Amino acid sequence: MKRACLVLWCAICALLAQVPLWAQLPVPPVKPIIGARMPALSPDGKRIAFVYRGDVWIAPATGGQATPLTRHVEMDAFPLFSPDGRWIAFSSLRNGNWDIFVVPADGGEVRQLTYHANSEIAYGWSPDGKYLLFSSVRDTTNNTLFALDVRTLRFKKLTEDYASINYPSYSPDGRMVVYGRYGFHWTRPRYVGSAAAQIWLLDLVKNTRRALTSDNRQHLWTKFLPDGKSLVTVTIGEETPSVSKLGTSIGKVVDNPSRTPNLWVFDLEGRGKQLTFFTGGSVRFPTVALRTGDIAFEYEHDLWLLPAGSRNPQKIVLYAAEDEKQNTRRREVLTSGVTEAEPSPDGKFFAFGLRGDIWTVLIDKPKGVAGRSAEIARRLTDWAGDDSDFVWSADGKRLYFTSDREFNTRLYELDIETLQVKSLWNRPEDVTAPRLSPDGKQLGFWVSGSEGGLYVLTLETGETRRLAKVPGPHWYGLGGGQFAWSPDMRWIAFTYRGEDLAWNIWILPATGGDPINVTRLNAYHSQPAWSPDGKYLFFQSDRDGNGLYVLPLKEEPARTVDTDLKYEKPKEKVLVEIDFQDIQRRIRKVVNQNPQADLTVSSEGLILFVSEGDIWSVSYDGKETKRLTTGGGISNLRVSADGKRVFFIRNGELWTMKLEGNNPQEKVTFTADWDRDVRAERKAAFTQFWRSYHRGFYDANFHGRDWEAIRKRYEPLLDAVETREEFATLLQMMVGELEASHSEVSPAPGGNTSPVTPHLGFTFDYSYEGPGIKVGKVPQGAPGSYPQTRIREGEYVLAINGQDVTLDENLWKLINDKQEREFEFLVNSRPSKDGARVVKYRVLSSGEWSDLMYRNRIERLRKYTDEKSGGKIGYVHISGMGFSNQVQFEREVYEQVVGKQAMIIDVRFNGGGNISDTLVDWLERKPHGFYRPRDGVVEPAPSRAWDKPIIVLMNEHSYSNAEMFPYAMRAKGLAKLVGMPTPGYVIWTWGLQLVDGTGARMPQSGVYRLDGTPMENIGEKPDVQVWMSPEDWLAERDPQLDKAIEMLMR
């Protein structure tokens, strides 16, 4: 029996051996990863830590299989080996803000080291492994360099500055710290200007600092080499051209190794020598092995290793296999969130936009069980990007829509039955706002670009022709606006912002020709709507106050007050005739109710529009105005062909309303099964970002760069993106290649909520090590400056809310998220609880503390100016260039300058805005006489006129509109400029929201001087250059203000 079983078993095995193993899954091919970032070499140079898909990994420095050290859904980054190689410090967003953590280099438990709400990113260990360096803003408003004791969590201040302190790193002997002072974001490594990061050295023994470089070029991620006598940094040897004079072009830039941000070595006297010679892109995030001097760094898609003594970097080939940390695909059931909607020509279906796709749903559903399936919306498109701006064909069998699926916004045709999509526009220019002609045979739309304008496409032949040349991107208020065919299709009315910057309405023949401005007023005009009888053009305007206006196309037989204007529905084909002679003089206001959107004249002659978020109607003669809905939230108003029903969106839901009786409304319900694919969504957002810049970036030459080639370089890196922050950084790196300001990218909302750290109302004396906290300064206006809640400088705070405190990270754990509360402080004049008193007050928010310190500083400078000038010179600071700053300026300046002989206007540390032109207009008002009431004081005429000397203070922290202001003041002959050159951060910008929620800014208009030179990347230079050192700032000295006072007192 046993032998028989054995024979049978052998036969089965032999048979199985002959069966192909086709049922087994094939082993996936092993591919090197791309997109590894932020390398960190171990001290012996044998291992390398890096960031990939939002986690910290470790691998042999020569390449090979990598192992994850952290696994978290939020971003972990900036790894840093300890000097003994046993620990890796890193920073993470797992608590909502950047905090510092450590993890064993061989893997293990992660420990959190910092807890303040502000960002902390470690860039350097002390040679003995006791401290980690980071910079942040904590008890003062200054940027402060801290050393954190990794065992006790005590932190001490090493230095502080009004400029940022970046990438601090110890020298091998621990006696010095090198750091980058100030600097634009690292994604702009080619920037040249006053805001460029310079190398500074801090002598920890002598407590002195000095600048090693001052060449207006960025120096990034500077670190000591093991000899302690030289430094490695990323910088350039030659400026790359970026901006062009008005009306000219620099052409396309030809790159070379000197222009490319490469590794350079500097000695401690500031003499530099280029170390790597890549062309194009940028070297990023160099790291140095503490003992060997090997250097690793990022370049393009990979990590590279430069062994000590070698001049030939080697690419590090890495392999990393991991499962996804979270689902990238998930199903959602949507019943609202509609962004646009169009009823079908027969009124039976709604086509609507939802999550970037186009859907349809039956409007009037069957009752009972039969209506269940009609509730399910049909998805017509599934591109993860933007399918929108759609319109039905006349027969209701097709939809015409725009999509960015081919890296620009093109026009497509969708067959409703088969879902087949056909491109109607295969050109690189973008298309927007397609509209169907009244006969359904043509599509009109705007086309972007220098040869753009209003185009018409004949659907039968595919032929396109331009009717009106209107260059521009045709969005964000630049280019054309709305347009509408006349009922007989002989004319097209459209809105356009002309050279006077006013939006007027123009009419041109539908076959082409010269457009005629029919509104002719420097005012705003929008929403042209022809009456079906062809007699009138209705529109919205503010030409005589906001409201509904009408333009009679021919002279009327009588004034409206002398006749009853009645609408007669056309029984025959309408012929629209226009008398253009003095046409604008026939315009009259119909009603004061202001159409805000969707102005339409129904086939029954009823005027309908959206105003105040609701639907309004106005009779043809303007004598009856009705509010048809209440509650607001309405958009996309459409009227049925018979004029008896309207369709609209209310708060993201679909609705209809009958135009009869009490106007009954009915919600059109739907259920949309939507599968969200996060990776496809990011690909779509990448496309949206690139094509938005392709269409709208203010310089069509892209600062001399090849924008399409840049896209092709960065697109493969999408595979390395796991987190919101990584995606935003990818876009920031890509757009950073343009070397343009106002192009910042912010991550999509999400993640954990950051803690809130309130301010205690005093600064710390870091020379005291405990117990308790020694009070540094209590500024005027802080709670501790009042008699009832007094805390004096030099006193000791021994406990807060009953718990002992000292200057360590546990302090923040104790007070975090307790804002708006009363704190109890145990205070004494000596570091003992014996005889201590209790002080209670509500602590400050960080914003309240910053505002208090700002107001105190400005008041100090105002008093100083008054005292030093003997009351002859007024001083005003403008902190920003927004409307609230304009109001504050108006209130302060005309009070401060009363009786003064000169004025100082300070725009240092001003982030910009848009009020420069207004302020300059005010300040160039010159007196032409005087006014004096009986027994009153003499007043200049006009009021607030000023014709006395002005000096504008500016510095390298005056941005954007705060650079335009000093330039304009000097160009107008109104002021002299004192301080430092401004950064050249000057472009008009707009916001941009991507489909995944990522936020971005996009420069759309350049700013130029009278001589044609751009202000972008070419900062404004002062008449007298004076620098303020960090020591001046900390000692409350102001040599720039002193120079201004000296000049005005001459």
398: which residues sit within 8 A by CB, 6+ positions away?
Answer: 392, 413, 414, 415, 416
Query: What local confidence, expressed as pLDDT, does residue 18 receive?
Result: 52
Beta bridge partners of 1013: none
Asked if residue 408 is part of any domain, the answer here is: no
Identify the band that residue 432 occupies on the pLDDT scale cut at 50, 70 and 90. Answer: very high
Q: Any idea what the CATH number is for the domain that residue 128 is in?
A: 2.120.10.30
- For all residues of the chain together, what is the average pLDDT? 94
Same-domain status, 777 and 742: no
Identify the band that residue 557 occupies on the pLDDT scale cut at 50, 70 and 90. Answer: confident
Same-domain status, 205 and 133: yes
Structure tokens at 521: 């007023």
Q: Is the peptide bond before 942 cis (omega within 30 degrees of 0)?
A: yes
What mean pLDDT is predicted for residues 504-528?
Answer: 96
Tokens 């001097």 belong to 293
Q: Any idea what the CATH number is for the domain that residue 1039 is in?
A: 3.90.226.10
pLDDT tens for residues 128-187?
A: 999 999 999 999 999 999 999 999 999 999 999 999 999 999 999 999 999 999 999 999
Asked if the model's pLDDT at residue 15 lies above 70, the reply is: no
Kindly give the interhelix angle for 883-896 and 916-923, rounded to the nearest 10 degrees: 20
Same-domain status, 838 and 860: no
Q: Any idea what the CATH number is for the domain that residue 688 is in?
A: 3.30.750
Q: Where are the alpha helices (DSSP H) in 793-845?
A: 810-815
What mean pLDDT is predicted for residues 601-614?
Answer: 97
The model scores a pTM over 0.85:
yes
Say how far apart CA 379 and CA 398 lie, in whole Å: 14
C-alpha closest to that of 118 among 758, 947, 835: 758
Query: What local confidence, expressed as pLDDT, does residue 73 receive?
Result: 92
Query: What local confidence, expressed as pLDDT, does residue 153 receive?
Result: 97
Asked if residue 928 is part of any domain, the answer here is: yes
In 776-821, beta strands by DSSP E: 796-800, 803-804
Say how far apart CA 135 and CA 425 lie, in whole Å: 52
Say how far apart CA 633 and CA 760 lie, in whole Å: 44
Query: What local confidence, expressed as pLDDT, does residue 16 receive?
Result: 46
Asked if the model's pLDDT at residue 519 lies above 90, the reply is: yes
Same-domain status, 177 and 230: yes
Same-domain status, 941 and 820: no
Same-domain status, 812 and 741: no
Question: 844, 870, 885: which is the final residue of a domain?
Answer: 844
Q: Dihedral of CA 882/883/888/891: which sign?
A: positive
Question: 232, 260, 288: which is the final residue of a domain?
Answer: 288
What mean pLDDT is predicted for residues 745-761?
Answer: 95
898: which residues sit within 8 A by CB, 6+ positions away?
Answer: none
Q: Is the peptide bond before 1003 cis (omega within 30 degrees of 0)?
A: no
pLDDT tens for residues 998-1034?
A: 999 999 999 999 999 999 999 999 999 999 999 999 9
Evaluate whether 465 touches 512 at the Cβ level (below 8 Å): yes
Asked if the model's pLDDT at residue 10 lies above 70, the reply is: no
Beta bridge partners of 1005: 988
What mean pLDDT is predicted for residues 692-721?
Answer: 96
Query: What local confidence, expressed as pLDDT, does residue 23 receive?
Result: 53
Please compute, for residue 795, the number of CA atoms within 13 A of its CA located in the half-sphere on the CB side.
22
Percent above pLDDT 70 for the chain: 98
Q: Which residues form the domain of 115?
A: 71-242+250-288
Percent above pLDDT 90 for the chain: 86
- Radius of gyration of the chain from its Cα atoms, rounded to whole angstroms: 34
Question: 844, 878, 900: which is the final residue of a domain?
Answer: 844
Asked if residue 944 is part of any domain, the answer here is: yes
Asked if the model's pLDDT at residue 631 lies above 90, the reply is: yes
Same-domain status, 840 and 854: no
Kindly give the interhelix angle for 1039-1048 and 846-868, rounded to the nearest 10 degrees: 30
Asked if residue 62 is part of any domain, the answer here is: no
Instruction: Select the more confidently predicted residue: 478 or 894.
Output: 894
Asked if residue 829 is part of any domain, the answer here is: yes
Same-domain status, 933 and 909: yes
Asked if residue 472 is part of any domain, the answer here is: no
Same-domain status, 138 and 189: yes
Asked if residue 426 is part of any domain, the answer here is: no
Query: What local confidence, expressed as pLDDT, does residue 477 receive?
Result: 67
What mean pLDDT is predicted for residues 95-112?
Answer: 97
Same-domain status, 903 and 919: yes
Asked if residue 92 is part of any domain, the answer here is: yes
Identify the band that residue 503 occupies on the pLDDT scale cut at 50, 70 and 90. Answer: very high
> What is the number of domains present in the chain?
4
Kindly give the interhelix angle for 961-971 and 916-923, rounded to the nearest 10 degrees: 30
Q: Are strands 950-954 and 902-906 parallel, antiparallel or unpaired?
A: parallel
DSSP letter string, 437-454: -TTSSEEEEEE-BTT-EE
Evaluate whether 599 touches 529 at the Cβ level (below 8 Å): yes
Dihedral in degrees, nearest 10, Cα atoms 122, 123, 125, 131 = -40
Q: Is the peptide bond before 771 cis (omega within 30 degrees of 0)?
A: yes
Asked if the model's pLDDT at residue 712 lies above 50, the reply is: yes
Query: What local confidence, expressed as pLDDT, does residue 26 receive?
Result: 83
Edge-to-edge strands of the sheet including 99-104?
76-81, 87-92, 99-104, 111-112
Say how far apart CA 421 and CA 100 lie, in whole Å: 51
Surface-to-core class of residue 66, CB atoms within 10 Å of its CB (0-12 exposed, 13-18 middle, 19+ buried):
buried
Same-domain status, 1036 and 905: yes
pLDDT tens for residues 361-400?
A: 999 999 877 778 889 999 999 888 889 999 999 999 999 9
Identify the band that residue 28 occupies on the pLDDT scale cut at 50, 70 and 90. Answer: confident
First to last CA, the chain: 122
Surface-to-core class of residue 872, CB atoms within 10 Å of its CB (0-12 exposed, 13-18 middle, 19+ buried):
middle
Tokens 């005012």 belong to 523
Same-domain status, 861 and 787: no
Query: What local confidence, expressed as pLDDT, does residue 467 receive?
Result: 94
Evaluate whether 223 touches 234 at the Cβ level (below 8 Å): no
Query: What local confidence, expressed as pLDDT, does residue 8 receive?
Result: 47
